[in-house]
Amino acid sequence: MNIWRFDQELCRKTLVKMIIVDELLFSFVENGGFRYFVSVAQPQFRIPSRTTVTRDCFELFYEEKKKLKNFFRENSQRVCLTTYTWTSIQRINYLCLTAHFIDKDWKLHKRLLNFCPVSSHKGDDMAIAITKCLLDWGLDKVFTITVDNASLNDITLKELSKQFSKWGTNLMDGHHLHVRCMAHVINLIVQDGLKKIGDSVRRVRQAVRYIRQSPARIKRFKDCCEIKKITNKRSLCLDVATRCNSTYLMLKAAQEFENDFVSYGNLDPGLLEYLLIYVCEDGKTVGALTSDDWANVRQMEKFHETFYDLTLRVSGSLYVTSNVHFHEIGKLYCVLKLLIEDDDINLSLMARRMKAKFDKYWGAPEKMNKMIFVFCVLDPRFKFDYVAFVLLRMYGQEKGEKMIDEVKTYMACLFDEYQKITSKACGISSYSHCNTLDLSSINFGSIHKGTLIQHEYLRHKTNSGNMDSKTELDRYLGEENEIENEQFAIVLWWK
C-alpha cells in the first residue's frame, strides 16, 4: 500500500510548470482566488511570492537547458534547424531558432534553441546570431537549415556553410544544407493565384474587418443570423493578408454568411460607406460587395482547399515531413496541370499564374536541393523507382534522365560519407572498398581479439569474389516497397 506524502518542492516545481505552460503572470500566485483555492486543496503548501516564482522559472530553464546540452554532447546524430524571423511593431528584429532531431529511441523531438532580438535580418548578421547560438549549445553537427525564401537567407546559409567547414562537420560540403520552406513557397504560389480575384477578396476582408471592429456590430450581425434561424457555429474571422491559409479560413467562413452580409448592410449603412471610402495599400478603392464577388469567393474557397490541406501536411512539427516533400511537389504539379486545362477561363488563368510561380522554385530540378529527392527515396513506400517516374513526368525525358543520374550519384556519395564516418568510429575498414586487412587501422581496444579471424575470413571472401558486393543501400532499394496505409509511420519503420 502506497502512502502519499506532501512534497513542498515538488509542488513548487509543478506550479512553475503550470505558469510556463499556461503563460500566466508571475503575480498570479499572489491573486486572492488562487490563494483561496490552495488553502482548500492543500493547506500545507506554502505559496511562493512572485519573486520566488520568477527565480524558480529561471532555475527550471537552466536545468532543462543543461539536460539538452548534455544530450547533444553525448549523442552523435545530426539535427535539422528551422529559422523564423520577423520585425515587431516596435521595429525590433527577432530570430527564432528551432532544432528537430530523433533520439536513440527513434522519437522525433522539437526544441526551441533561441528566441532573441538581432541587429538586422541581413545575411551576415543572421549567420553570426545563429553561430553564437550553436556555440552556446555546443551544437556543431547540423544536417539542414530550413529558411523562408528571402534572398538574404542565401547569404546566411553560405556563411554558415563556411563556418561548419571550419568546424570540420560540414557533410558533403554543405550542398544540401539550404532547405527552402515548402509552406512558404506554397503561400507565394497561392498569393499569385489570388491576384485575379483580388478585388473580391479585398471587399470581403474589409467587410469582415468593419463588423469585427466593434462588439455592437458583432452583436448586430449575430442578430441577423438569428432572425434567419442560422445555427452555424462558425464565426467571422479576419485573415492575415500575407498568409494564404488564413485567407482561406476567412473566405470559407464568410461565404456561409453571404445573405447575412446583405441583411446587415440594410441595418447598418455604415458598412457600404466604409467599403466605398476605404483605399487599399495599392491605392485602389475597395467598393461595395456584389454577387460576382460572392461567386468568386465560392470558387476560390473550393479551389483553395487543396492548397490549405497541402500546407497543413508539410508544415507539421510533431511528425516527419521531409520524406513527403517531393511527393507533395509532384501532387501540386498534377493539380496545377489539371486546373490549367479546366474549361473555366478564370480558373485556368489563375492556375497559369500559379504554375509560373511554381516553376520559379521547382521548375529547374538541377537547382533544387538534392536531399528533397533522397528523402523520398528513403521512404519505403516510394523508393527510387517512384522518384524516377515523377522526375520524368514533370521534367520530360532529357532533363528527367539527367536528374535521375544526378540523384543516384549524390545518394551514393552521401552513403559513402556515412560509411566512412561509421568505419572510422568503429576503428575498422569497410570491406566494400578495401581488399586488404590493415591491422594498423583496427582499434584493438574496441573489438574482441577473437573476431580477428572473422575479419580475415571476410577478406578471403572478398578476394575470392564470393562476398556479396551489395551495400546496405543497394539491398534496401532492391526490396519490395511497403504498402501505402494511413497508419504508416516512417520513423517506426526505420526503427
Model confidence pLDDT, tens digit, residues 353-401 = 999 999 999 999 989 999 999 999 999 999 999 999 999 999 999 999 9
The torsion angles phi and psi of 388, rounded to 5 degrees, stand at -60, -40
Could you give all domains of the chain from N- to C-terminal order, each with its CATH number? 8-66 (no CATH), 75-180 (3.30.420), 190-363 (no CATH), 372-494 (no CATH)
- pLDDT at residue 431 in the model: 44
Q: Which grid coordinates belong to 93?
A: 528584429
pLDDT score of 57: 95
**pLDDT at site 377:** 95
For the segment 269-315, what is each residue's pLDDT rounded down to a tens digit?
A: 888 888 877 655 555 666 677 888 888 888 888 778 888 898 888 88
Q: Report the range out of 134-148, 207-221, 412-426 with the highest average pLDDT.
A: 134-148
- Categorize the per-residue pLDDT at 427 as very low, low, confident or very high, splitting at 50, 70 and 90: low
DSSP 8-state assignment for residue 494 = H
Alpha helices in 104-181 (DSSP H): 123-137, 152-167
Question: Grid cell 516533400 — which residue?
Answer: 325
More confident residue, 376 or 443: 376
d(CA 222, CA 228): 10
pLDDT computed for residue 434 by the predictor? 42
Would you say residue 148 has pLDDT above 70?
A: yes
- The position carrying cell 474587418 is 209
Q: What is the mean pLDDT of residues 329-353?
A: 88
What percentage of residues in the chain have a pLDDT greater than 70?
86
SS3 267: helix
Q: How confident is the model at residue 101 (pLDDT cuts 50, 70, 90)?
A: very high
pTM for this entry: 0.81
Which pLDDT score, from 0 to 100, does residue 436 have?
44
pLDDT in tens, 11-58: 999 999 999 999 999 999 999 999 999 999 999 999 999 999 999 999
User: What's the pLDDT at 432?
Assistant: 45
As a whole number, the mean pLDDT across the chain is 85
Per-residue confidence (pLDDT) for residue 240, from 0 to 100: 84
- Range of weakest confidence among 19-28, 135-144, 176-185, 259-268: 259-268
Q: Please, which pLDDT band fits residue 147 given cuts at 50, 70 and 90? A: very high
Note the Cα 358 to chain centre separation in Å.
19
Nearest to 473 by CA among 407, 390, 416, 402: 416
Do the beta carbons of residue 293 and residue 204 sit within 8 Å?
yes
- Output the pLDDT for position 124: 92
pLDDT digits (tens, 9 = 90+) for 177-204: 999 999 999 989 888 877 766 778 888 8
Grid cell digits, residue 100: 528537430
Q: Where are the beta strands (DSSP E) in 368-435?
A: none
Once rounded to an integer, what is the mean pLDDT over residues 118-132?
93
Cα angle 52, 58, 63 (rounded to 5 degrees) comes to: 120
Q: Residue 430 pLDDT > 50, yes or no?
A: no
